[in-house]
């Protein structure tokens, strides 16, 4: 007999489409890994009872773009005020010291933070495979996801054009293209599970137009389409990238993707800040998805993505925290709020509603990652649910509990989180792994990584640059 669970006495449930209010309370019943009923006073005997008094439930949030290893390099003084290209060039010199142990603990820290802020499915874009680090780094990420109990899609990232060939990354972190494709094959065979209730999937993800060749982009797309996995990369994030593409490829970033056959419902891009009207329409027409990263775009001063316009064009849209060195946070509910506020900054108070922000954070992202039976709370769907407690000072006086969840609150910690029918976060804390162990281990590794990078490179990472000319080595657009 499958195990049964009920979340009792919720104040409100956002289903992924609209808000259910059945005063005074509403319940959600779970059988095995699926939702079996949603409604008031559900009868039956249950193996587990989760007390939802004073709480609201939403579909587990879906993070569509991240770089877990960046948890180790948050708010480094030297790069705190730098835009993307010098920010990257400086960080590469630290990341080239990444070890297997660093990948494991940073993955636990990033996914742990996502879980306790209401995220139940996450993607990660791992593109850093230092030459002197042995081991299969994606395998380590899957081990961490499995240890925590989160639904995980790893994108096999890649960088093949180093500085000696006109790219942005140092040569010691780029790989041979045949080696990259062989490992893409291997991880698809080993980990990709396309079934509807899959807990692990693969997508292929060359890092960006300024770190891989056109040949690798084409060969990656061929491999993805013959094996049935999706494609992902960074695109149109900054004006510097646009200038690089115009200079190197003679066209804008989206035109380059069109030329490489990299548009369609099996493709999603991170950022998409700098799109023109024709490109927005093309995304809608081809079903090309976007991982919107509002905090990262604000932190790096990249700009405001045309999310309203993309939604109106019918383009798929998900939310993402992006790496924790450009966001400094993996707070998934916080990202829902940032998405709403950032659209309103440039387009007015009706540019995005609470329901729209929550929808792109849940159902929108689930569709982009192909987890079609998550992102909606309804009988028959997978039981991926986040429960937040509104019984605190920061929610007093709220007249719309779901609106309040997004617009109010000084803490985004979920009270309970269920993934695939399994209770993973209880009373605000992970129950699968000790949070204190993750904190202690990750902190030690982060400190060691930056100290050894300073000694190896002679770069003073812990000191802010004296002026913009001191952002060495500064990348110059060719
Ligand atoms: Zn990114």
Whole-number Å distance, alpha carbon 295 to ligand 1 midpoint, is: 12
Angle between helices 435-457 and 100-116 (to 10 degrees): 130
Please tell me whether residue 378 adopts helix, strand or coil conformation. coil
* Residue 225 confidence (pLDDT): 98
Q: Which domains does the chain have, with CATH numbers?
A: 4-59+375-430 (2.30.40.10), 61-369 (3.20.20.140)
* Residue 112 confidence (pLDDT): 98
Angle between helices 84-95 and 239-248 (to 10 degrees): 90
Statement: residue 280 has pLDDT above 70:
yes
Q: What would the pLDDT profile of 435-478 be if each residue is shown by its tens digit?
A: 999 999 999 999 999 999 999 999 999 998 876 656 544 444 43
Statement: residue 173 has pLDDT above 60:
yes
* Residue 24 confidence (pLDDT): 84
129-138, 180-189, 268-277, 436-445, range with the lowest pLDDT: 129-138
In the numeric block, the tokens 């593409």 are attached to 245
Whole-number Å distance, alpha carbon 330 to ligand 1 midpoint, is: 12
Whole-number Å distance, alpha carbon 106 to ligand 1 midpoint, is: 16
Whole-number Å distance, alpha carbon 8 to ligand 1 midpoint, is: 38
Whole-number Å distance, alpha carbon 255 to ligand 1 midpoint, is: 20
* Residue 470 confidence (pLDDT): 61
Alpha helices in 192-238 (DSSP H): 214-227
378-231-317 Cα angle (round to 5): 45
* Average pLDDT of span 253-261: 96
241: how many CB neighbours lie within 10 A of its CB? 25
Tokens (6 digits) for 89? 């060039």
- Between CA 412 and CA 428 the distance in angstroms is 10
The DSSP code for 475 is: P
Whole-number Å distance, alpha carbon 278 to ligand 1 midpoint, is: 24
Strands 385-389 and 200-206: unpaired
Q: Residue 220, class by beta-carbon neighbours within 10 Å (0-12 exposed, 13-18 middle, 19+ buried)?
A: buried
Whole-number Å distance, alpha carbon 234 to ligand 1 midpoint, is: 6
User: What percentage of residues in the chain have a pLDDT greater than 70?
Assistant: 97
* Residue 469 confidence (pLDDT): 57
* Residue 477 confidence (pLDDT): 43
* Average pLDDT of span 46-62: 97
Statement: residue 6 has pLDDT above 70:
yes
* Residue 195 confidence (pLDDT): 97
Whole-number Å distance, alpha carbon 132 to ligand 1 midpoint, is: 23
Whole-number Å distance, alpha carbon 228 to ligand 1 midpoint, is: 23
Whole-number Å distance, alpha carbon 426 to ligand 1 midpoint, is: 30
Contact between 296 and 323 (Cβ < 8 Å): yes
Whole-number Å distance, alpha carbon 413 to ligand 1 midpoint, is: 24
Strands 289-292 and 34-39: unpaired
* Residue 135 confidence (pLDDT): 72
Whole-number Å distance, alpha carbon 296 to ligand 1 midpoint, is: 9
- Between CA 205 and CA 197 the distance in angstroms is 23
Omega before 389 within 30 of 0, i.e. cis = no
Beta strands in 43-199 (DSSP E): 48-51, 55-59, 61-63, 119-126, 151-158
In the numeric block, the tokens 């000694």 are attached to 455
Phi, psi of 182 (to 5 degrees): -65, -40
| Band of pLDDT at residue 111, cut at 50, 70 and 90 | very high
- Between CA 118 and CA 412 the distance in angstroms is 8
* Residue 166 confidence (pLDDT): 86
Computed over every residue of the chain, the mean pLDDT equals 94
Contact between 186 and 239 (Cβ < 8 Å): no
Whole-number Å distance, alpha carbon 270 to ligand 1 midpoint, is: 6
- pLDDT: is 24 or 351 the higher one? 351
H-helix or E-strand spanning residue 109: helix 100-116
């Amino acid at each position: 007999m499958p195990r049964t669970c009920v979340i009792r006495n919720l104040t409100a449930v956002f289903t992924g489409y609209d808000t259910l209010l059945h005063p005074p309370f509403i319940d959600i019943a779970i059988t095995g890994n699926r939702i079996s009923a949603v409604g008031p006073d559900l009868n039956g005997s249950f193996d587990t009872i989760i007390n939802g008094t004073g709480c609201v439930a939403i579909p587990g949030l879906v993070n569509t773009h991240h770089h877990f290893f960046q948890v180790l390099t948050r708010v480094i003084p030297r790069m705190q005020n730098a835009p993307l290209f010098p920010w990257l060039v400086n960080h590469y010199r630290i990341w080239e010291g990444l070890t297997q142990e660093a990948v494991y603990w940073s993955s636990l820290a990033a996914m742990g933070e996502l879980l306790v802020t209401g995220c139940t499915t996450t993607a990660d874009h791992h593109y850093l495979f230092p030459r002197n680090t042995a081991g299969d780094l994606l395998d380590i990420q899957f081990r961490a996801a499995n240890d925590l109990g989160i639904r995980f899609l790893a994108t096999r990232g890649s960088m093949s054009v180093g500085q000696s060939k006109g790219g942005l990354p140092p040569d010691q972190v780029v790989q041979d293209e045949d080696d990259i494709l062989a490992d893409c094959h291997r991880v698809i065979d080993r980990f990709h599970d396309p079934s509807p209730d899959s807990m692990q999937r693969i997508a292929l993800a060359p890092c960006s137009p300024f770190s891989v060749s056109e040949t690798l982009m084409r060969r990656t797309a061929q491999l993805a389409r013959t094996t049935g996995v999706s494609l992902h990369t960074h695109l149109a994030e900054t004006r510097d990238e646009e200038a690089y593409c115009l200079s190197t490829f003679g066209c804008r970033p989206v035109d380059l993707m069109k030329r490489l056959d990299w548009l369609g419902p099996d493709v999603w891009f991170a950022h998409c800040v700098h799109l023109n009207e024709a490109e927005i329409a093309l995304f809608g027409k081809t079903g090309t998805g976007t991982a919107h990263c509002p905090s990262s775009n604000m932190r790096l001063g990249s700009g405001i993505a045309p999310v309203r316009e993309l939604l109106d064009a019918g383009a798929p849209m998900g939310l993402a925290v992006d790496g924790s060195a450009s966001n400094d946070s993996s707070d998934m509910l916080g990202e829902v709020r940032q998405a709403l506020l950032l659209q309103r900054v440039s387009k007015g108070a009706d540019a995005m509603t609470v329901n729209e922000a929550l929808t792109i954070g849940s159902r929108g992202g689930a569709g982009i990652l192909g987890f079609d039976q998550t992102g909606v709370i309804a009988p028959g769907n997978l039981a991926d649910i986040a429960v937040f407690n509104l019984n605190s000072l920061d929610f007093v006086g709220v007249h719309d509990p779901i609106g309040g969840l997004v617009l109010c609150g000084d803490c985004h910690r979920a009270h309970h989180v269920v993934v695939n029918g399994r209770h993973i976060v209880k009373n605000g804390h992970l129950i699968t792994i000790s949070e204190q162990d993750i904190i202690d281990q990750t902190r030690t590794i982060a400190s060691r990584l930056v100290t050894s990078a300073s000694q190896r490179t002679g770069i003073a990472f812990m000191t802010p640059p004296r002026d913009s000319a001191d952002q060495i080595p500064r990348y110059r657009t060719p």
